[in-house]
Structure 1
Amino acid sequence: MAVEIGQETPDIELKGDNGEKVRLSDFKGKYIVLYFYPKDMTPGCTTEACDFRDHHESFAELDAVIIGVSPDSEEKHGRFKEKHGIPFLLLVDDENKLAEAFGVWKLKKNFGKEYMGIERSTFIIDKEGRLIKEWRKVKVKDHVAEALQALKEVSAK
């Protein structure tokens, strides 16, 4: 069963693009903007990552960290970050454990073929580790600005 609004988020250990083991609990005391995306170096995922990159400082000013998650390898994440100047952590979810915990590992259809993959989604986690906002089936255009606005509203309370 996927984590729901108001619940504590799962504390699954994954490897970061820097080779270090990471848990969401490592960021307690900060807001977390956790976004799941299907694949490095694809048009939609690159646009989304670059939008988060371009707003990175605005999120940081609200005491938030941005974390991207996909099934891609540490090496692929590293090349993606280097090519596009991505300043935030990318996690390797090659066994889809975090994606399944958030309910974003889904059956997808593309050109008549069915396969399992990541449903583009974003979650905001509060400073105590509870899920407070979610967007599922994200459309990339204007999404990062919407997430930033939601975080501004939450952090102002």
Structure 2
Amino acid sequence: TTLLVLFASQAFATSPTITKIERINVNTILVTLDQGIKPVSHFDVPIEGRFYILLYTSATYYLGSSSISIARTPTAVNPNDNGFATQWQWEEPALTATDNDGLSEITINLNAYSSDFENDIGHSSRDYTSTLNLIWQHDLSITSINTLDTNEGTNLV
């Protein structure tokens, strides 16, 4: 019975998929996946916990080049006890240049070499290319402690 359950769970297991990449403030990018992952080292680049990123338009590379992606170390958002998380974020200095050029969107290519909940000892690579919306919302709220009654009117001095 245990073997059947193990086989069935592996047969229906799916690889984690990136569901959204978004800019959440002036210099931070957030990646959301449909299940938890943990970035791990790759045999070519034995530095654990890196994402490899390209940011570009049709004419300009803001991060990386046509042949070289740039490594970023992401931080888990609400990881479990083993370091797995469905959301990862990192500070991206290249966003300043996109803002200076007045861009509202850019192409992002992200490659994450990671393990997932189903296969903690195995590793897989995810390559994701999408349009990243560079417009983000400031959480601005204005609160007044001075309130005026509608019947106060005005006084002439």
Q: Which has the larger radius of gyration?
A: 2
Structure with the bigger RCO (C-alpha within 8 Å, sep 6+) is: 1
- Name the one with the larger strand percent: 2
TM-score class, shorter-chain normalisation, is: under 0.3
TM-score by length of 2: 0.23
TM-score (norm 1): 0.23
